Amino acid sequence: MEIDKAAPKLERKIVEKNRRDHMKLLLSNLDSLLPNYSPNTKEAVTMPERLDEAVKYIKELQMRVERMKENREGLGCYEGTSQQKNLKMGVEVQDMGSGLSVFLLSFSGGFSAYSKVLRVLEEEGLEILAANFVSGEVAFIIVHCLVAENNGFEADEVMERLKKVVQGYTRN
């Protein structure tokens, strides 16, 4: 009879030891994901303290994700397709002294917008040195120009005309 009673106690001890080992492994994995993790720390940190640190870190990460989402929305980035969202277009003109670098982001128009952009730049008296067009759902247009003749050239006017082209309103 004593053999029968000893077997369940021994089995419970083994199950409990396995549970503690599993919990120790899980806690170690959690610790390794935290930013201030040091496996060779001499000071003992209790499990509740470690769990509190993990909770604080997760909340901090959630706040960072929210801030990043707000920043992304402010930049005009999007999720999904252009048919699903009201998307922003971007035009940036960098005056390099003797030339311009033009960066455009268009959500419609594709190659047609690209050719109109080149036409506007030529009409403004710019010599196109290099032009790149990458298309997909979003068209990226990068053009590097040289000011061929300086007859009252204004970078701001070029940018306004390019904005109208990207939006689909060309000015004659």
pLDDT digits (tens, 9 = 90+) for 80-116: 444 434 445 677 777 776 777 887 776 666 677 778 8
Closest CA to 144 of 108, 109, 94: 94
Average pLDDT, the chain: 75
Neighbours of 166 (CB within 10 A): 22
pLDDT tens-place string over residues 120-136? 888 888 888 888 878 77
Contact 84, 129 (CB under 8 A): no
- The segment(s) of the chain belonging to CATH 4.10.280 are 2-75
Closest CA to 89 of 67, 115, 118, 109: 109
Q: What CATH number was assigned to the domain covering residues 2-75?
A: 4.10.280
pLDDT at 82: 43
Reduced to 3 states (helix: H, G, I; strand: E, B; else coil), residue 115 is helix
What is the distance of C-alpha 2 from the center of its chain?
67
pLDDT at 172: 37
State pTM to two decimals: 0.43
Kindly state the helix (H) or strand (E) to which residue 170 belongs, with its residue range: none
- The segment(s) of the chain belonging to CATH 3.30.70.260 are 90-167
Q: Which pLDDT band holds residue 30 (cuts at 50, 70, 90)?
A: confident
Q: What CATH number was assigned to the domain covering residues 90-167?
A: 3.30.70.260
